[in-house]
Structure 1
Amino acid sequence: MAIRHGGTMKATFLLEQAMPKIDIANVPERQGSDYPAPYGQPVSARIRQALGRAGGLTDVGVNLMHLPAGSWSSQRHWHTREEEFVYVLSGELTLLTDAGEQPLRAGDCAAFPKNVPDGHHMINRGEVTAVYLDIGTRCADDTCNYSDIDLHLGPEAADYSHKDGKAYR
Structure 2
Amino acid sequence: MAKLNIAAAPISEGSDYPAPFDMPCRNKLRRRLAKAAGLSRLGVNLLELQPGAWSSQRHWHTEEEEFVYVIEGEVVLVGTAGEEILRAGDCAAFPPGEAHSHHLQNRSTGLVRVLEIGSANLRDDECHYPDIDLHATAVGYFRKDGTSY
Residue identity in the other structure for 2:119: T
Q: Which amino acid aligns with 1:64?
A: L
Residue among 134, 143, 149 paired with 1:162 = 143
2:43 and 2:117 map into 1 onto residues whose CA distance is: 5
Mark the structure with the bigger radius of gyration: 1
Partners of 1:101 and 1:122 in 2: CA distance = 10
Amino acid of the structure 2 residue aligned with 1:74: S
Amino acid at match of 1:40: D
Q: CA deviation at 1:159?
A: 1.7
CA–CA distance in structure 2, aligned partners of residues 25 and 50 of structure 1: 10
Of structures 1 and 2, the one with the larger relative CO (CA 8 A, separation 6+) is 2
Gaps of 5+ in 2: none
**Distance in 2 between residues matched to 1:140 and 1:22, nearest whole Å:** 28
C-alpha root-mean-square deviation of aligned residues, in Å?
Answer: 0.9
Higher mean C-alpha displacement, 44-53 vs 26-35:
26-35
The count of residues paired between Structure 1 and Structure 2 equals 148
TM-score (norm 1): 0.85
Query: What's the secondary structure of 2:143's corresponding residue?
Result: coil
Question: In 2, Cα distance between the equivalents of 1:81 and 1:28?
Answer: 25
Pairing of 1:67-106 with structure 2 (within 5 A): 67-106=49-88
Structure 2 distance, partners of 1:30, 1:98, is 27
CA distance in 2, matches of 1:90, 1:159: 32
The answer to whether 1:28 aligns with 2:10 is: yes
Name the aligned partner's letter for residue 151 of structure 1: L
Give the whole-Å Cα distance in 1 for the aligned partners of 2:10 and 2:80: 34
| Contact in 1 for aligned 2:41/2:119 (Cα 8 Å) | yes
Extract structure 1 runs of 4+ deviating beyond 2 A. Answer: none
Alignment of 1:114 with 2:99, yes or no, is: no
| Structure 1 unaligned regions, length at least 5 | 1-18
1:9 corresponds to: none
CA shift at 1:47, angstroms? Answer: 0.5
What TM-score results when the alignment is normalised by the length of structure 2?
0.96
